Amino acid sequence: MPEITPRGLTGLAFGGDYNPEQWPEAVWEEDVRLMREAGVTLVSVGIFSWALLEPAPGAHDFGWLDRSLDLLHGAGIRVDLGTPTVVPPAWFYRAHPDALPVTADGVRLEFGSRGAICHSNPAYRAAAADITTRLAERYGDHPALAMWHVHNEYGVPVSACYCDTCAARFRRWLERTYGSVEAVNEAWGTAFWGQRYASLDEINPPRATPTVGNPAQALDYRRFADATMRENFTAERDILHRLSPGVPVTTNFMTALSQCDSVDYWAWGREVDLVTNDHYLITDGRRTHVNLAMAADLTRSVAGGAPWLLLEHSTSGVNWQPRNPAKAPGQMARNSLAHVARGSEGAMFFQWRQSRRGAEKFHSAMLPHGGTETRVFREVTELGASVRSLAPVRGTRTEADVAVLWDWQSWWAQNLDWRPSQDHDARERADAFYEVLYDRHLTVDFARPEDDLSRYPLVVVPALYLMTEAAGDNLRRYVEGGGTLVVSYFSGIVDEHDAVHEGPCPGVLRDVLGLTVEEFSPLLEGERVRLTGPGGADVHADVWTEFVVPRGAETVWTYADGLAAGRPAVTRHRLGEGTAWYVSTRLGTDGLATVLARAAEDAGVPPRDDLPHDVEVVRRSGDSGRFLFAINHSAADAKVPLETPGTELLTGERAAGRLAVPAGAVRVVRLDG
Ligand code: GAL
């Protein structure tokens, strides 16, 4: 993917969503003055402003946006200009009530919030194209324009609509995908429960049914809904490319698995000029900085390893969780710079000035209700200076050590109903494996199951229920060629239509893992089993067990109790030049850490015992040099060994030997040579 950056920015981006339409124009001068004070270089404007830009059908008012953009330009602040198509005006819905989305239960959602869109609706598509065209014609070569921001977070809050217009489009999608109703019947296995269709016209979206519906139909509907949103994105993007050539077009992703599950970002990553992401800390008791690192690695991976941009995060608390703690002093900077370490070309926030009205008035901002004499504004200003001093990292790439395989479509399939256990959660496994790799100080690239993996010594598969034959072949080639693979249970089970691969499970992974699974035997709520392993060390597991039959693999850990007692729990298979590990149960952190340590040894990935716990150390490198980021999330001062001396960019001091990173602090060293 070509590396495309916001036009006219020389350093990293710093700023946020800016909604001047919420404020009297008298406030705008102060906004711009304080933005300069805080070091703001880029703002996202106009994302929700359709009703203000087109107050009545066909009657446009661009005056306020002209004045705002000119003011920003005069202050040297670049603009990421939104197409406001995530909230059509109220008058639009009055004329086109069928553009409001319908849930699977048949409820039509109302206007009065945001994102109430049926993406199949022709009137919506036409109106979105029209407002995008007018904006592109008017601002396509505005001197402040750095990039275009289409829509907002496709996939949330509505991921799919189930109305009749969507039903008709779904049928056309099926026709294009399968060619005939017979092929749909075959792929969906409609012989089961007499679901056979005589004509495509009989097929509907997977609306509410008396009991569980056809899983392959549900999976295809997710693909269809995702593709429909993507079509709307590319329609807007193509208008912008035509009328505003040379200006990058993006739409803000939400790659954190806890925040959006309806978009296949592998596919979307190919459609944007620059990958951008929004990330918010989920305060559910887990280590938020680990979740942040995972989302940042996933974002960089969907960008093909190229630099990307963090378009939104929060300066302090959000307001949409049950409890919304403020960020601790220094936490905002650690969050922002961890994104930069993992490839972001800057740090942007929602939003510049905290709203007084509307649903988000208790959400933190760069300029809080309390004004400039606040901790948040002081920290924002300090961060602005830090981001400015990191300009040299621009264009460099984050160095990764290992790969984790992830696939949104497999996740969708895995989450359908009537699985062996409702307690098995693919996302939880991805989080758990990631956390262990994070604590071993390994930087993770995410990859698709069919990608070339040969450059990674270690590849981890936390949960890939759906795998194509091609993916299975790919993993076998990877191991035969000398790779080390670690696979968690309930992977490689079904094909792209949610049909179980022929023969014993795990279908496409049998050969590479050197085993078959005779039966799944999930555990009851709260039930645990004990595993005995090398040297007599015990580990515990829960949620899942299975009856594994080795067919070439050696047993490393054995179930000591439960129905699977005496059978293999964790196995290792030498194949060609490489090794494939299989973990047939849900290990806790300690068990996983032990297995991954053994696998890392097989892979020749050395332990980083010299690095302190919870000090994140990540490197970026490229034409402008090699940079070591050290982010101390712990409450203790730490020391990080440097491979060569260098210059610390935030303080300007020379650094050599062991770099001091005070508790809660961030250090970024430009390494010599
Ligand atoms: C994002 C959204 C912003 C704002 C923010 C609050 O998902 O794009 O507009 O609502 O959340 O956290």
pLDDT (tens digit per residue) in 495-545: 999 999 999 999 999 999 999 999 999 999 999 999 999 877 789 999 999
Q: How far is CA 392 from the centre of its chain?
A: 26
Measured distance CA(13)–CA(348) in Å, rounded: 7
Distance 350 CA to ligand 1 centre (A): 6
| pLDDT beyond 60 at 620 | yes
pLDDT (tens digit per residue) in 401-450: 999 999 999 999 999 999 999 999 999 999 999 999 999 999 999 999 99
pLDDT at position 285 is 84
Q: Does the beta carbon of 445 sit less than 6 angstroms from any atom of ligand 1?
A: no
Q: Give 286's pLDDT tier (boundaries 50, 70, 90).
A: confident
pLDDT at position 3 is 60
User: What tokens appear for 65 in the block?
Assistant: 């946006």
Say if CB 99 and CB 92 are below 8 A apart.
Answer: yes
Q: How far is CA 354 from the centre of its chain?
A: 26
Query: 488-520 burial, b if ≥16 CB within 10 A, otherwise e?
Result: bbbbbbbbbbbbebeeebbbbbbbbbbbbbeeb
For residue 628, give the nearest of 663, 606, 659, 664 by alpha carbon: 659
Please state the φ and ψ torsions of residue 320, each to the nearest 5 degrees.
-115, 10
Q: Does the beta carbon of 363 sit less than 6 angstroms from any atom of ligand 1?
A: yes
Q: Does the beta carbon of 260 sit less than 6 angstroms from any atom of ligand 1?
A: no
Residue minimizing CA distance to atom 4 of ligand 1: 350
Q: Does the beta carbon of 152 sit less than 6 angstroms from any atom of ligand 1?
A: yes
Chain-wide mean pLDDT for the chain?
Answer: 97
Q: Does the beta carbon of 280 sit less than 6 angstroms from any atom of ligand 1?
A: yes
User: What tokens appear for 453 in the block?
Assistant: 């993996």
Q: Give 1's pLDDT tier (boundaries 50, 70, 90).
A: very low
Q: Does the beta carbon of 266 sit less than 6 angstroms from any atom of ligand 1?
A: no
pLDDT at position 673 is 84
Residue minimizing CA distance to atom 5 of ligand 1: 350
Say if CB 174 and CB 220 are below 8 A apart.
Answer: yes
> Domain-by-domain residue ranges, the chain?
251-392, 402-603, 615-671
Pocket mutation for ligand 1, best pick of 253, 260, 349, 360 (most atoms within 8 Å of C-beta): 360
Residues marked as catalytic: 153, 312
| pLDDT beyond 90 at 220 | yes
pLDDT (tens digit per residue) in 165-197: 999 999 999 999 999 999 999 999 999 999 999
DSSP per-residue codes, 367-436:
B-TTTTSSHHHHHHHHHHHHHHHTGGGTT-EE---EEEE--HHHHHHHTSS--S-TT--HHHHHHHHHHH
Distance 530 CA to ligand 1 centre (A): 44
pTM confidence score: 0.98
DSSP letter for 306, please. Answer: S
Q: Among residues of the chain, what percentage have pLDDT more than 90?
A: 97
What's the CATH code, domain 402-603? 3.40.50.880
Report the 3 state secondary structure along 445-496: EEECCCCCCCCCCEEEECCCCECCHHHHHHHHHHHHCCCEEEEECCCCCECC
pLDDT (tens digit per residue) in 102-129: 999 999 999 999 999 999 999 999 999 9
| pLDDT beyond 70 at 2 | no
Q: Does the beta carbon of 350 sit less than 6 angstroms from any atom of ligand 1?
A: yes
What's the CATH code, domain 615-671? 2.60.40.1180
User: What tokens appear for 589 in the block?
Assistant: 């952190």
Pocket mutation for ligand 1, best pick of 315, 321, 350, 353 (most atoms within 8 Å of C-beta): 350
Residue minimizing CA distance to atom 9 of ligand 1: 350
| pLDDT beyond 50 at 555 | yes
DSSP per-residue codes, 44-86:
EE-TT-HHHH-SBTTB---HHHHHHHHHHHHTT-EEEEEE-TT
